[in-house]
Chains A and B, each alone.
Chain A
Amino acid sequence: MNLDPKIPSGPLAQKWSKTKFDYKLVNPANKRKYSVIMVGSGLAGAGGAASLAELGYYVKCFCYQDSPRRAHSIAAQGGINAAKNYHNDGDSVWRLFYDTVKGGDFRAREANVYRLAEVSNDIIDQCAALGVPFAREYGGLLDNRSFGGAQVSRTFYARGQTGQQLLLGAYQALERQISRGQVEMFPRHEMLELVVVDGRARGVVVRDMVTGEVATHLADAVCLATGGYGNVYFLSTYAKGCNSTAIWRAYQKGAGFANPCFTQIHPTCIPVTGEHQSKLTLMSESLRNDGRIWVPKKKGDTRAPGDVPEEERDYYLERKYPSYGNLAPRDISSRAAKQVCDEGRGVGSTGLGVYLDFAESIGRLGVDAIREKYGNLFEMYERITAEDPYTVPMRIFPATHYTMGGLWVDYNLESTIPGLFVLGEANFSDHGANRLGASALMQGLADGYFVIPYTMGDYLARTPKTAVPADHPEVRAAEAAVRERGARLLGIKGKRTVTSFHRELGRIMWEHCGMARNAADLKAGLARIPPLREEFWRNVTVPGSGGEINQSLEMAGRVADFLELGELIIRDALERDESCGCHFREEHQTPDGEALRDDERFTHVAVWEHAGGDRAPVRHQEPLAYENVHLATRSYK
């Protein structure tokens, strides 16, 4: 497996501008002769499709939702980082770069992260130009707030709906290109196979989710912007439809899968209420600007929160991490919540919860100021829990939220399959072992608006243009595989529903590969998945037919893939015998319970290669070189 990251030579700050100059160009008259496939329509997908179309490439864009505007980027609440330093508080491209590398616990590629920080300012400019209604100060200038893992105010936001507004900006740019005929949009289409011809990605096989028709689309290059795979845990803050099928198909066709065990557990989500639960809802990290997290000092304290006097409360984040306090990074905050709950100090009927309390800031700023900042989040909380967070502290608990792992890509966002590019959360490149808040929106738009337009041009200019006949054997084989798989799922006619398998898989993942991991638990988890998978393919029931809308069939295909990916995640977690970021191995911790990295053995990206059939996947390494930052112990104390 060729894992050359293709990091440009030269000083860090000049790498991207130098590379942009070195890239080959496609002349404007020739661009229209090229076509590109974009799978996914979130920030990376819609942004990428729109910017490639603006350049003159013909783009076909696919999404499983009924409209590209519904991609799950829309649910991001809190904000987007940029190194504007509008507040004169000492921010810079370098500081954003450094915070992100440190936040990722030194497991991300320096050059990629620097580029991300570098284009962050262009993103804010572009979004404002597209009509994103960012929050403003009275003087008309942009407002900022703070997010975890940073000591500067660099997060731009649009109330608690920043992802929605950024996505609508990208969606509207995309719709403009659709109206110009430069993008052809295929909503309610699911990618079920990648077509690789002569070693290059040349197309996708998709199922029309309304008619059931299976068809192949060919192009000069393929981009996947299909998001993360956190739904492998069943309960997560992802949309119900989020899935790993596109990246899993690519993995099985030879794309390396990097750091699958890097899964982010977000500290502030609404706790689970019962067995019927279908998803978990995030409460934005931005709430930690004004909310204070605490539990009672006493174990098993069942008093109402208002009855617990100040001196009997443990504001544990403020106590343990005085310089970052409630804005400690996500992995650290989640683990701290787990610890106090494990100690028996959790709150709520299940004991799996901690308080996020606004009483102090309401007293200081007034209820109106809090309502203006967080009104929609408070309302959402009230809808779900029937409790009023203006008067009673919120109860929160960690939940699966994001995956830093994903398909391996080089500096150009190209996977190990030439011509297959991977954007946004679907790739692994920028967040290392832990993503900081307000960085996912930044990365999605960086990849879509400002990276892929350059790297795609270079790829197309370097690659001899050839045509793939519609009846090429690879096309026919890929289509046949899709049809066969669908027919197989429909033909099992067993006794258990798809959801029951998904729920069971999720439980295994959470119990064995959740917030804290150890070798014995991981091994036990690894043993539990193959029998479940075997039962799935013997005993699942999928009603209906393949020639119509069939939501059970859609879910069955996705869960079948999760049943394979879950195993890879655990395998990766077992092999990474160190703690770093989100990946906390109980065997490796400091005396006060912080993650203990093993830089000697693990300063690398783990990249898994599919070995085919039932053979175990092969683990490769891309060494990470830190030439600009010092590998330090990450401290937020």
Chain B
Amino acid sequence: MNLTLHVWRQKNARTPGRFVTYEAHDISPDMSFLEMLDVVNERLIEGGEEPIAFDHDCREGICGTCGVVVNGRPHGPRERTTACQLHMRSFADGDSLTIEPWRAKAFPVLKDLIVDRGALDRIIAAGGFVSAPIGSAPDANAIPVRKVLADLSMDAAACIGCGACVAACPNASAMLFTAAKVSHLGLLPQGQPERFDRARAMIAQMDAEGFGSCTNHEECQAACPKGITVETIGRMNADYVMASLTVGRRAARLGDSGGG
């Protein structure tokens, strides 16, 4: 099949970018979307041009590295599918594809289709963990976990941190990403001691990174390649309310921003 690509090219974070048009000939429907870009890049290099820079690694939909907006949709047209698992059979011969990086203030473009998603790591660092130093654990079966809660926790933990939810959101909010982690840990008994502090700290970091607020468009859920649902946001909001009535109140009384 033959396609026309309009690809965002940008030298670095300081230089303005622009769309450049490429013809992609003889593309096999069995290629993944990234393999199609590989083919285009090989031809660019052979022609003495710089290839299109894009992030990718595992190419099996689990590492969360890849991600581009195709015709306005993060990771392209197929639901619950990362760009690396999207295959060209999802497109038709003669299609025109506009390919852009994630667009969000908190994700500066580094080059072409590559953005800096370090903000997501900093949200995790703010509280997305259970403080259980290595060597301190009781027997794993000492604390039974209701199966339904373990399953719901796993549903949320499936987040791959790709950032598609941010790219899809009109407010460039990272609520779904943050809520997925708050849900994953908050549903497990192991996550209870830090549950409310976690929600408070992670949301504070999310705001500090310049992500927008949630106004219930639910575009994030539609774009999520792992099917994370907005229920997680509901749970996080509930934890946040509880946090303001517990750790937050005590912190305010003691004038201690550290809480507790």
Contacts and interface: CB of A to CB of B under 8 A. Distances in A.
B125 A176 contact: yes
A484 interface: no
Given A383-B85, A384-B87, A210 B110 contact: yes
B117 to A, nearest CB: 6
A137 B48 CA distance: 58
B126 to A, nearest CB: 7
Given A137-B147, A278-B35, A130 B42 contact: no
Contact of A66 (B45, B55, B191): B55
A608 to B, nearest CB: 29
B150 A175 contact: no
Interface stretch (A97-105, A119-127, A588-596): A119-127
A551 B53 CA distance: 7
Count chain B CB atoms within 10 A of each CB in A128, A137, A173, A178 and give the residue with the most: A128
Given A66-B118, A274-B31, 15 more contacts: A67-B118, A69-B64, A125-B139, A126-B132, A126-B137, A130-B132, A131-B129, A140-B147, A175-B129, A210-B110, A240-B58, A383-B87, A386-B89, A541-B48, A549-B12
A544 B184 CA distance: 43
Nearest to B38: A278
Given A66-B117, A172-B124, A178-B125, A450 B134 contact: yes
B105 interface: no
Interface stretch (B151-159, B212-220, B239-247, B252-260): B151-159
Interface in B176-228: 184-185, 188, 190-191
A541 B45 CA distance: 8
A134 interface: yes
B214 to A, nearest CB: 23
Interface residues of B, number: 79
For chain A, the bracket of interface size reads 35 or more
A163 B57 CA distance: 15
Contacts of A379: 80
A100 to B, nearest CB: 21
A182 to B, nearest CB: 12
Given A66-B65, A239-B63, A172 B130 contact: yes
Please provide the 8 A-B residue pairs with the shortest distance between their CB atoms, ordered closest to farther: A140-B144, A129-B137, A172-B129, A128-B140, A125-B137, A129-B132, A179-B125, A175-B125
B248 interface: no
Contact of B161 (A69, A84, A274): A69
B6 interface: no
B78 to A, nearest CB: 8
A128 B134 contact: no
21 contacts: A50-B134, A66-B118, A67-B64, A67-B120, A67-B121, A70-B161, A72-B63, A74-B62, A75-B63, A86-B141, A129-B138, A164-B158, A175-B124, A175-B125, A176-B125, A178-B125, A274-B30, A276-B35, A279-B60, A281-B59, A380-B85
A176 B157 CA distance: 17
B85 A384 contact: yes
Given A129-B132, A274-B28, A67 B117 contact: yes
Interface of B: 11-12, 28, 30-32, 34-35, 38-39, 42, 45-46, 48-51, 53, 55-65, 78, 80-81, 85-87, 89, 110-111, 114, 116-118, 120-121, 124-126, 128-141, 143-147, 150-151, 153-154, 157-158, 160-161, 184-185, 188, 190-191
Contact of B157 (A124, A168, A210): A168
A366 to B, nearest CB: 18
B234 to A, nearest CB: 19
Contact of A179 (B126, B133, B185): B126
Interface in A526-556: 541, 543-544, 548-549, 551-552
B138 to A, nearest CB: 7
Contact of B141 (A72, A142, A495): A142
A133 B157 contact: yes
A449 interface: yes
A60 to B, nearest CB: 16
Contacts of B38: 276, 278, 499
Contacts of B154: 133, 135, 158-159, 165
Interface string A265-282: 000000001101111011
A130 B64 CA distance: 21
Contact of B59 (A133, A210, A240): A240
Contacts of A282: 60
Contact of A140 (B87, B146, B184): B146
Contact of A131 (B61, B81, B185): B185
Contacts of A380: 60-61, 85
A70 B42 contact: no
Contacts of B153: 131, 133
A128 B55 CA distance: 32
A11 to B, nearest CB: 24
A187 interface: yes
Contacts of A136: 144-147, 150-151
B40 to A, nearest CB: 11
Contacts of B85: 380, 383-384
A142 B140 contact: yes
B87 A543 contact: no
Count chain B CB atoms within 10 A of each CB in A135, A379, A551 and give the residue with the most: A551
Contact of A130 (B34, B130, B141): B130
Count chain B CB atoms within 10 A of each CB in A74, A139, A379 and give the residue with the most: A74
Interface in A360-383: 379-380, 383
A600 B118 CA distance: 54
A431 to B, nearest CB: 22
Nearest to B31: A276
Contacts of B120: 67
Interface in A133-189: 133-142, 158-159, 161, 163-165, 168, 171-173, 175-176, 178-179, 185, 187
